[in-house]
C-alpha cells in the first residue's frame, strides 16, 4: 500500500473544535504563517473536500436526514474521507504541498464517539482501513465552553443537522476532544479559543512557529 507516511513530502495539519470555536477564521492565519515561509498550501475541509465528499457532506448536514443512525453517519464520514484522501490529500502531500484541513478523524472520535456514543474501537477499525498509517502531523484544537461556542453559531444562518443538537451532545464532543489532546500531547496543541480573536491568532502563530522549528523549516 502506498499509504505510509514516508511517502509524503508535505505536512498534514488539521484544525478541530466544537461549533463556534473560530477554526475557519484561524485557518487563514495558519495559511499565512506557512506561505510566509514559502510553503505551498492546500486548504480543505471535512466532511467534503472532493466532489463525492461534498455530496456526502450535503447529506450529513441536511436537517431532512434527521434520524440517521450513528453507524450510517460514521460510515458516510469515512466514505467521504476515503475520497478526500485519494483525490486530494495524498496527491498534494506526495507533491510536497502542505495540507491544511478544517476537521479530520479527531472529529469522528469527538462527535460520533463522544457525542453519539459510538465505540471508539469501531472508529479505530475504519481509521485503519481508510487511512492506513496516515495521521495528521499537527492538530490545533480550538477549545472553548460549549455555551460560548453555541452563542456564536446562533448568530449565523439556519442550523444544520449537527448544530441542531442539544448542549449535552456538544459537552460530550468537547470532553472527548480534550481527552484526545491529553493522549496525544505531541501532535495535538490546545488553543484557548475563548479569548479575543487577536489573542487566539497569537497562540496559533506561536504553535505554527514551534511546529516549523520542530520539522526544520
- Report the interface residues with ligand TMP, using CB under 6 A: 19, 45-47, 77, 102-103, 107-108, 111-112, 162
Would you say 193 and 21 are in contact if contact means Cβ atoms under 8 Å apart?
yes
- Looking at the Cβ atoms of 8 and 45, the one nearer to ligand TMP is 45
Burial class (CB in 10 A: 0-12, 13-18, 19+), 204: buried
Task: Give the nearer residue to ligand TMP in terms of CB position, either 137 or 165.
Answer: 165
Provide the pairing of β-strand 138-143 with 98-102.
Answer: unpaired
Q: Closer to ligand TMP at the Cβ: 46 or 143?
A: 46
Pairing assessment for the beta strands 98-102 and 12-17 based on DSSP bridges: parallel
Nearest distance from C-beta of residue 72 to ligand TMP, angstroms: 12
Instruction: Answer whether 93's CB lies under 8 Å from 44's CB.
Output: no
Nearer to ligand TMP, 12 or 162 (CB): 162
- By beta-carbon proximity to ligand TMP, the closer residue of 44 and 112 is 112
Shortest separation between residue 46's beta carbon and ligand TMP, angstroms = 4
Q: Is 4 helix (H, G, I), strand (E, B) or coil?
A: coil
Region of 24 (left: φ > 0; alpha: ψ -120 to 50; beta: rest) is alpha
CA proximity to 65, closest of 162, 153, 170: 162
Residue written as grid cell 507516511 = 5
Q: Please, what is the minimum distance in Å from the beta carbon of residue 102 to ligand TMP?
A: 6
Q: How far apart are CA 162 and CA 57, in angstroms?
A: 12
Q: Residue 187: count other Cβ atoms within 10 Å of its Cβ.
A: 17
Shortest Å, Cβ 103 to ligand TMP: 4
Name the minimum Å distance from CB 5 to ligand TMP.
20
What is the nearest approach in angstroms of ligand TMP to the Cβ of residue 6?
25
CB nearer to ligand TMP: give 111 or 177: 111
Amino acid at each position: 500500500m502506498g499509504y505510509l507516511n514516508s511517502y509524503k513530502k508535505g505536512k498534514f495539519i488539521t484544525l478541530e473544535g466544537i461549533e463556534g470555536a473560530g477554526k475557519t477564521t484561524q485557518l487563514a492565519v495558519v495559511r499565512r504563517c506557512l506561505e510566509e515561509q514559502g510553503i505551498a498550501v492546500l486548504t480543505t475541509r471535512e466532511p467534503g473536500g472532493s466532489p463525492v465528499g461534498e455530496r456526502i457532506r450535503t447529506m450529513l448536514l441536511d436537517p431532512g436526514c434527521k434520524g440517521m443512525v450513528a453507524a450510517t453517519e460514521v460510515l458516510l464520514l469515512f466514505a467521504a474521507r476515503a475520497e478526500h484522501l485519494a483525490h486530494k490529500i495524498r496527491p498534494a502531500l506526495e507533491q510536497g504541498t502542505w495540507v491544511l484541513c478544517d476537521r479530520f478523524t479527531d472529529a469522528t472520535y469527538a462527535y460520533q464517539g463522544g457525542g453519539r456514543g459510538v465505540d471508539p474501537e469501531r472508529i479505530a477499525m475504519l481509521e485503519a482501513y481508510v487511512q492506513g498509517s496516515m495521521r495528521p502531523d499537527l492538530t490545533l484544537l480550538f477549545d472553548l465552553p460549549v455555551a460560548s461556542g453555541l452563542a456564536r453559531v446562533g448568530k449565523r444562518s439556519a442550523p444544520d443537522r449537527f448544530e441542531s443538537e442539544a448542549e449535552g451532545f456538544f459537552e460530550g464532543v468537547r470532553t472527548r476532544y480534550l481527552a484526545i489532546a491529553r493522549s496525544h500531547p505531541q501532535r495535538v496543541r490546545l488553543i484557548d479559543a475563548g479569548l479575543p480573536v487577536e489573542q487566539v491568532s497569537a497562540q496559533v502563530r506561536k504553535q505554527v512557529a514551534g511546529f516549523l522549528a520542530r520539522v526544520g523549516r
